[in-house]
Chains A and B, each alone.
Chain A
Amino acid sequence: MVASASLIAEVSGATHVYGKVRALDNVSLELPSGRMAGVIGPDGAGKSTLLGLIAGARKIQTGSVAVLGGDMGNARHRRSVCTRIAYMPQGLGKNLYQEISVRENLTFFATLFGLSASERDARTHRLAAATGLLPFLDRPAGKLSGGMKQKLGLCCALIHDPDLLILDEPTTGVDPLSRRQFWNLIGDLRRERPTMSVVVSTAYMDEASHCDWLIVMDHARVLASGTADELRAKTGEQDLEAVFVALQPEQKSASQRLVIPPREPSTEPPVIVAKNLTCRFGSFTAVDRVSFAIERGEIFGFLGSNGSGKTTTMKMLTGLLAPSEGEAEVCGKPVDANDLSVRRRVGFMSQSFSLYGELTVRQNLLLHARLFHLAADHAKHRIAELLVDVGLGDYADAEANSLPLGVRQRLSLAVAIVHDPELLILDEPTSGVDPQARDEFWRLLGDLSRSRNVTIFVSTHFMSEAMRCDRISLMHAGRVLVCDTPQNVIVSKGSVDLEEAFIAYIEDAEASSSTSEAAAVPAETLRNVEAASPGRSAFMPLRRLLAYAKCETLSLRRDPVRLVFAFLGSFIMLLIFGFGVSSDVTNLTYAAFDHDNTPESRNYLANFSSSRYFTEKTPIRSVEEMQQRLKSNDVTLAIEIPPGFGRLVQRGSDWQVSAWIDGANTSRAATIEGYVESAHNLFSEQRDRESSTPASSNPKTNMVFRYRYNPTAESIYSIGPAVPAMLLMMFLAILTAVSVAREKEIGTITNFYATPTTRLEFLIGKQLPYIGVGMINFLIMTATVVFLFEVPLKGDGFTLALGALLYVAAATGYGLFISTFTSSQVAAVFAGAVLSLLPTMQFSGMMQPVSTLEGGARLMGYLWPTSYYMHMSVGAFTKGLGFGDMATDLLALTLFCPAFLLLSALLLRKQEK
């Protein structure tokens, strides 16, 4: 067909499996260069996997993929060609950093691909101008509308002027106006640079007509490929949708065109009435004076561009949001969040297909039947009926998570109608679902409306679906522009179809409002964009590393919650622990059980009542009372003086006293024991001195204790320097682990897969900002300890700071290590926190020196960086140690960070599975 020299990509025998699911089954295909190739097929056909393989972002399992004249299984080739490929993954702005601005996103990508500052500025300006993003360069990417995000994604992909542009479902979930603008933009780009090849996947058949080469996929296989005309000739169909259906295997193509019979006019009062509904979030008006009335049995379509207020309106109708102004009535009653009776008559299906993924289809249905209190036998009957009606029979015992999107969406519907509601509210139920599954879905809706007289309120982006509604309303920027039957809407603008009418309405609305954001007409073309030469500088690794560090710093700075935790959290905790934790045992409650009651016994007890350690309680009078009071924690110490004590002491013969200590808290009991002994010795020495004549005095053994480093033995001197060591570890490990896991969860990790960034550049780049956070924390906490707790820093502060730097690097390194084997933020956080909690709090020498631990605990202590830093910190503060004394700890700390980094780099994958 095509000479192999002009092939941009060649796939042969590629098979890709996720668990048990086959995403690609022995796929072979050739893509000619300089074309606009469209990959079309239903959801779950394997389109994304194929594109990921071509982009080099996914690891090849079986088969071979050659792109730009080399094997993509070869890491060296991948590295050398990835600067010529641009990959935009599926999902609205999925590879963009939402917290940072449009300009910062573009700069980030430009740096990863090694553009010089002047090249970068020139291209940023031109691309932004061409896409209409120029006025929004300083807006955070997360605040852009869906269509704008896609345009920004495209700009980021084009910043390094690639030879191959790969776009994975760039227009899914985008409104028709934005879609049209997007395709025009791509058309312009291709005219500017005809040599650039584009591969784009889509679920919209009408978009396939923009492509000059088509690949039709279904069920992990390629059904056909070639130019549109070749395919038309092959199937004998003209319409591309028909071509697609004709290419399907026999049993699947049997569906006929869906027709929903016309509706009988209803005489009943309307089911939904909205009067001047308004919703404001701060100064932003999301929904502005919206009014409509919907009759029983009507299918009411709710259309509008992204962010126009459709979902907000639906939330107000369901009582999830309280309207700022205006009123809404559902089923003849005003919407009230606390009125449960209306909710039993309404079914709701939200945008995100709210199912419990871990439950099977049947369990999901059963749970909802029970929550709506269907009688047991009725529920059983109803579920059996639904499984047949909705076509879920084959999946009844499959987990909801494992189902294809189309089936999940049918299950969502089944769940929403399990209690036979009179009204069904559906928020974009078919977004991302392929045409056949959508038809199936609408067949069900039509049946519900016409034969069961259920009122249906549905929002959608698909014009073909809108055409099936009895009436539609078009929303834009919070206002309803038009509300009528689809035919009347088309006629009112004199358009050929609904899509054109839709665009005409929005353009009119925008022309009338000056505050609109979508001034999307290309102000400047891309002409004269000079070819960017990818940088070959020796500093490239450093620049990429810094690009990641800068991006992370900016995101962190704009996330107030993480920022507050990072700085205030550790400070507050230090205060709590500094004031709260103390092993100085004082205020011990004790009571005397004095059988004797003589001056001597009172004298003995005076040693306790005058001590600051003890607090006296009412005396004990019986053995039972003593036991009872120890038991109820009224006293922790009981001193029993036997009868005749005074007489024996007078005589100087053997006398005895008993002390009962509450042994529940063992370390406290040991301390009390020491106190009691010294009080006792004090008394016996006094007696010795008084009773003996100087000549016959007994020789004494004096113990002279020198409490070094902490003469008053106050625990703040050990707690003050120790707690920062603990807090630095806990907070930094969590923050770092989350930062990488977040990339994985949100999808920005694709930038690491698809750019020349190496593992170490990525890891260290992520780590650097948190080392900064750690050092600032170190300074704050050291200042707190010195000035607030008044623990002087006697030793070498610079050595301590150096140790802190190494320790902070180790703690963040541990966070990175955790994040490499966890895939979600939850897992990262809990693994990071819980696994480090025990060694940090218990085995690092805070409560007792590591050398005194036993077995596994001791080993954990020695293998944990906190032990060394804690030792250093306590030594530097209280013992006045200098560099020489702390050298061994420093040496040990130096080893942790490289070790963690190395482990992380080994575990981190450069490609997706």
Chain B
Amino acid sequence: MRSLSNIFWLGTKELRTLSKDLMMILFIIYSFGISIYTQSTGAGETVNNASIAIVDEDNSSLSRSIAGLFYPPYFQTAKMISAADIDRTMDEGLYTLVVVIPPRFEADVRKGRDVDVQVNVDATAVQQASLGAGYIQSMVTDEVKRYRQETAQTTGLSSDLVIRRAFNPNGTQSWFRAIVGLADQLSMLIIILTGAALLREREHGTIEHLLVMPLTAFEIALAKVWSSGLVIFIGFICSLLFVVEGLLDVPIAGSRGLLLLGTIIYIFATAAIGIFLGTLARTMAQFALLMMMFVMPMMMLSGGMSPIESQPQWVQYVTWFFPSRHYVSFMQAIVYRGAGLDIVWKEFVTVLVMGVTFLAVSLVLFRQSVATLR
């Protein structure tokens, strides 16, 4: 009871301090607002504005109609170039895709011969390259098929593949990016806020003051966890309501309550990491560098930027210890797939256990680090 009251009152002090820190507040607003919005909308669709050029050596009505297939938003309007320019322009990175239509293309199609279309792909832009190539393939084959049907030379069977995307039928890119962005910003902010709160006490010497009072390290740490967590949680709710659901129109399939519960558990676990880093670092500058070393991998390897399944097995074992990996995973499950507690409870428990462990370790370190001060 005494302990709870200590934790509560210490936490209110943190909130008061934060409310005076204009830079931190602006920073939170930027992260949860502008940053998520640009990140989600900036990337466009999966294949977006891909730069493409056509080498038309046939110059027939069919080849021209193929060239006319490529238009925004998936592709930039196709540029006509000559075969000699292919190497140079691709070296300069002007075009990601160059389609070459050979001479006598239309004539061969009319005569019912097999035809070849060459596509040069700049494979250094890995994602655009493979997806763009896939689009070109189906667009060109469909167009040629249509032409053959028009000229009535096809008799073939039709086979059909019906592809349905569950949970995001149109493949709207911003849905995915918004949720990933939200998770990224949440992780970064909570680590910064708790860690900086701890370091501020250390740099101002108030930490010693707290430690000679009848307070335990546990109470001091938990006060920071709940107060920073509350601020971030409110930021999260606002961002979810106004930016994600409001501006970006992302539908939430599952229960919002469940999402918020999961977020609270995650905030607790990440705040514990913040305390942990705040304990390791001696100065704010060190903390910032440490934080970058933790936050950048968390952002890049938790399934938001590239799928977990694609990581080599040993990296997957490492990333399993990132709470953010589980958070991104159950967040997607709840938001898109509408998963219920029966599906996500295991991940909830995993994150919770991680949080408790991190906090326990950092509490031990915290006591030690204060003892070796100076």
Contacts and interface: CB of A to CB of B under 8 A. Distances in A.
Nearest to B88: A885
B248 to A, nearest CB: 13
Contacts of A702: 114-117
Nearest to A352: B205
Given A826-B284, A849-B125, A703 B137 contact: yes
Nearest to B168: A663
A698 B172 CA distance: 37
Given A827-B23, A833-B288, A848-B128, A659 B162 contact: yes
Interface residues of A, number: 142
Contacts of A359: 13, 16-17
B124 to A, nearest CB: 5
Most B-side CB within 10 Å, residue of A344, A577, A826, A834: A826
A654 B154 contact: no
Contacts of A841: 296, 299-300
Interface in A643-660: 652-660
Given A581-B301, A669-B165, A847-B305, A371 B213 contact: yes
A354 B160 contact: no
B51 A658 contact: no
A704 B119 contact: yes
Contact of A699 (B153, B157, B286): B153
B167 A340 contact: no
B27 interface: yes
B169 interface: yes
Nearest to B282: A561
B296 A320 contact: no
B47 A871 contact: no
Interface string B2-33: 10011001101100110111010001001100
A417 to B, nearest CB: 13
Contact of A665 (B41, B133, B307): B307
Interface stretch (B239-247, B261-269, B334-342, B350-358): B334-342
A821 B289 CA distance: 20
B167 A663 contact: yes
Contacts of B208: 315, 320, 350, 354
Nearest to A344: B214
A355 interface: yes
Interface stretch (A14-22, A115-123, A175-183, A671-679): A671-679
A373 B42 contact: no
Interface in B246-302: 282-289, 291-293, 296-297, 299-301
B39 A838 contact: yes
B118 A706 contact: yes
A321 B211 CA distance: 11
Contacts of B50: 852
Interface string A625-650: 00100111100000000000000000
A358 B15 CA distance: 10
A631 B46 contact: no
Given A351-B205, A577-B300, A631 B337 contact: yes
Given A359-B13, A701-B141, A734 B289 contact: yes
Contacts of A166: none
Contacts of A830: 23, 27, 192, 288
Interface string B84-117: 0000001111001000000000000100111111
Interface stretch (A140-148, A228-236, A514-522, A875-883): A875-883
Contacts of A662: 165-167, 337
Contacts of B160: 654-657
B289 A708 contact: no
Interface string A103-120: 000000000000000000
A318 interface: yes
A585 interface: yes
Interface in B188-233: 188, 192, 196, 204-206, 208-209, 211-216
A860 interface: yes
Contacts of B5: 370, 373
B336 to A, nearest CB: 4
B370 A320 contact: yes
A705 B42 contact: no
B360 interface: no
Contacts of B61: none
Contacts of B81: none
A825 interface: yes
B126 A657 contact: no
A676 B212 contact: no
B214 A579 contact: no
Interface string A694-717: 001011111111111111010101
Contacts of A684: 159
Most A-side CB within 10 Å, residue of B76, B204, B314: B204
A699 B114 contact: yes
Interface stretch (A155-163, A270-278, A568-576): A568-576
Interface in A551-588: 561-562, 565, 569, 572-573, 576-577, 579-588
Nearest to A368: B213
A701 B171 contact: no
A715 B206 contact: no
A630 B166 contact: yes
Contact of A718 (B125, B165, B307, B339): B125
Contacts of B205: 350-352, 354
B365 interface: no
Contacts of B291: 833
Contact of A852 (B2, B48, B115, B336): B48
A718 B126 contact: yes
A77 interface: no
Contacts of B196: 826
B153 A705 contact: no
Interface in A845-893: 847-849, 851-858, 860, 871, 874-875, 878-881, 885
A343 B286 contact: no
B59 interface: no
A708 B123 contact: yes
A722 B132 CA distance: 21
A667 interface: yes
A194 to B, nearest CB: 44
A285 B120 CA distance: 73
B38 A321 contact: no
A602 interface: no
A857 B76 CA distance: 17
Contacts of A312: 374
Interface string A530-562: 000000000000000000000000000000011
Contacts of A734: 288-289, 292
Contacts of A260: none
B301 to A, nearest CB: 5
Contacts of B12: 367
B320 interface: no
B125 A848 contact: yes
Contact of A856 (B10, B38, B141): B38
A713 B130 contact: yes
A420 to B, nearest CB: 14
A858 B76 CA distance: 15
Contacts of B2: 373
A151 B92 CA distance: 62
Contacts of B136: 703
B156 interface: yes
Contacts of B335: 664
B41 A857 contact: yes
B161 interface: yes
8 contacts: A585-B307, A653-B157, A663-B166, A699-B148, A706-B118, A717-B124, A848-B125, A860-B42
**Nearest 7 CB-CB pairings of A with B:** A857-B42, A663-B165, A354-B209, A829-B288, A352-B205, A663-B168, A710-B123
Given A579-B312, A669-B165, 19 more contacts: A350-B209, A356-B16, A562-B286, A589-B309, A633-B337, A660-B165, A669-B171, A677-B134, A706-B120, A718-B124, A734-B292, A826-B284, A830-B192, A833-B288, A834-B31, A838-B38, A842-B43, A854-B42, A854-B48
